[in-house]
């Protein structure tokens, strides 16, 4: 049910949730379910950990400008055009299920900052071309460029004539993310194919449509068959399929466990081991320019403007959230939250790898 509501809210800016009628309708229906009891416009579609409710929906690590080596990036991305969903009719849905060729997303010609679910979807869609861990690698580069202090447990902080580099230094931590990402990826692929083989959301949406239209009879829960979310999808598209953000729909591997979530858990654990997590993010340099960090006062917590063309300061507590990659997979209808929880597997894998590393004498 939550996924149907996310599809309906895909083009609603996160900052508009408190006033948008569709977002408020989602809160109204989801809050009646035991799993979502207490959900509010401020916590709608967020994660299940306490830290997910802190600060703005989009992590500052996805909005900040940064120097990617000699290449300057201002934080904007090439987004997909709004209000264009796929596989909302039976013909296109069935073609994708049968492996027929599909087209490509239409790109907005104007780069923008992440401001809504559709913008988030492009993060996960483009990520496989960058090794699946680009979000965390970039976050590490940004934190190190801003001068985030190393973890107090780093042994090299106590050395007077040595500095961290090949072990427990910047190259080490950035390289370790690639190492643990590979291990997490292999572990989760085993879970997908040899343990769970869970149905993808787009396929489940087909079961919903076929059942409601009496083309088949699947044992689905009444909560989903009679939900306002499903009825709103029908009012908008004339069918009960999950509206997809990508022409090809979901990936062709099982939904649970989630690849991006396991890699998120693994890489986030590396970053937590790398830097001092108690150091306030606001105390880092306020901005990044092509020539490096600029100390112009405390870091300002920002969110994207309504059109995504600029950043606006907001008042909010901030924790540098690292669950963004995992969370982004729920927006294009490719994963469900129980699959995203698999990120904790990546956390355990990284803990095992890290335990085998020792400082050089």
pLDDT in tens, 276-295: 988 888 888 877 888 888 87
Least confident of 5-9, 139-143, 248-252, 357-361: 357-361
Which pLDDT does position 72 carry in this prediction?
Answer: 93
Q: Distance (Å, rounded) from C-alpha 327 to C-alpha 133? A: 14
Residue 298 maps to a domain: yes
Residue 263 maps to a domain: yes
Number of H helices, E strands in the chain: 13, 6
Buried (b) or exposed (e) across 171-184, using 16+ Cβ within 10 A? eebbebbeebbbbb
User: What average pLDDT does the structure give for the chain?
Assistant: 86
Q: Which of 135-149, 253-267, 294-308, 316-330 has the highest mean pLDDT?
A: 135-149
Q: Which domain holds residue 269?
A: 48-77+112-200+250-354
Q: Distance (Å, rounded) from C-alpha 116 to C-alpha 261? A: 20
CATH number at residue 299: 1.10.606.10
Residue 190 maps to a domain: yes
pTM: 0.87
CA distances from 9 to 2, 40, 180, 232, 238 (A): 10, 15, 34, 11, 17
Residue 27 maps to a domain: no
pLDDT in tens, 121-180: 988 888 766 556 788 899 999 999 989 999 999 999 999 899 999 999 999 999 999 899
Given a cut of 80, whether residue 80 has pLDDT beyond it is yes
Residue 267 maps to a domain: yes
User: What is the total count of domains within the chain?
Assistant: 1
CA distances from 290 to 75, 78, 145, 195 (A): 13, 20, 12, 48
Residue 303 maps to a domain: yes
Residue 15 maps to a domain: no
Q: Distance (Å, rounded) from C-alpha 169 to C-alpha 166? A: 6
Q: Distance (Å, rounded) from C-alpha 57 to C-alpha 303? A: 8
């Amino acid at each position: 049910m939550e996924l149907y509501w996310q599809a309906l809210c895909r083009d609603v800016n996160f900052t508009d949730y408190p006033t948008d009628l569709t977002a408020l309708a989602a809160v109204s229906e989801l809050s009646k379910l035991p799993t979502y009891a207490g959900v509010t416009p401020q916590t709608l579609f967020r994660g299940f950990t306490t830290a997910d409710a802190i600060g703005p929906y989009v992590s500052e690590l996805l909005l900040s400008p940064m120097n990617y080596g000699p290449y300057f990036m201002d934080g904007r991305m090439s987004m997909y055009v709004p209000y264009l969903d796929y596989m909302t009719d039976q013909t296109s849905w069935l073609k994708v299920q049968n492996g027929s060729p599909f087209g490509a997303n239409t790109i907005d010609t104007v780069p923008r900052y992440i401001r809504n679910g559709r913008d988030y979807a492009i993060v996960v869609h483009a990520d496989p071309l960058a090794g699946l861990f680009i979000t965390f690698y970039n976050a590490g580069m940004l934190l190190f460029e801003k001068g985030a202090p190393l973890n107090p447990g780093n042994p090299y902080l106590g050395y007077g004539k040595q500095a961290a580099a090949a072990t427990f230094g910047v190259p080490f931590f950035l390289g370790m993310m690639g190492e643990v990402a590979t291990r997490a990826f292999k572990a989760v692929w085993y879970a997908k194919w040899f343990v769970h083989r869970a149905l993808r959301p787009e396929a489940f949406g087909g079961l919903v449509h076929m059942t409601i239209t009496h083309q088949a009879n699947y044992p689905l829960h009444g909560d989903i068959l009679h939900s306002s979310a499903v009825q709103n999808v029908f009012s908008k598209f004339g069918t009960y399929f999950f509206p997809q953000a990508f022409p090809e729909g979901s990936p062709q591997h099982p939904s649970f466990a989630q690849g991006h979530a396991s890699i998120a858990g693994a890489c986030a654990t590396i970053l937590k081991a790398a830097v001092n997590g108690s150091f306030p993010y606001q105390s880092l340099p306020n901005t990044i320019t092509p020539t490096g960090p600029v100390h112009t006062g405390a870091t300002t917590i920002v969110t994207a403007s309504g059109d995504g063309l600029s950043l606006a300061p907001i008042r909010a507590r901030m924790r540098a959230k690292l669950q963004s990659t995992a969370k982004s997979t729920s927006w294009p209808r490719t994963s469900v939250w129980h699959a995203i929880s698999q990120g904790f597997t990546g956390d355990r894998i990284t803990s095992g790898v890290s335990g085998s590393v020792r400082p050089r004498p």
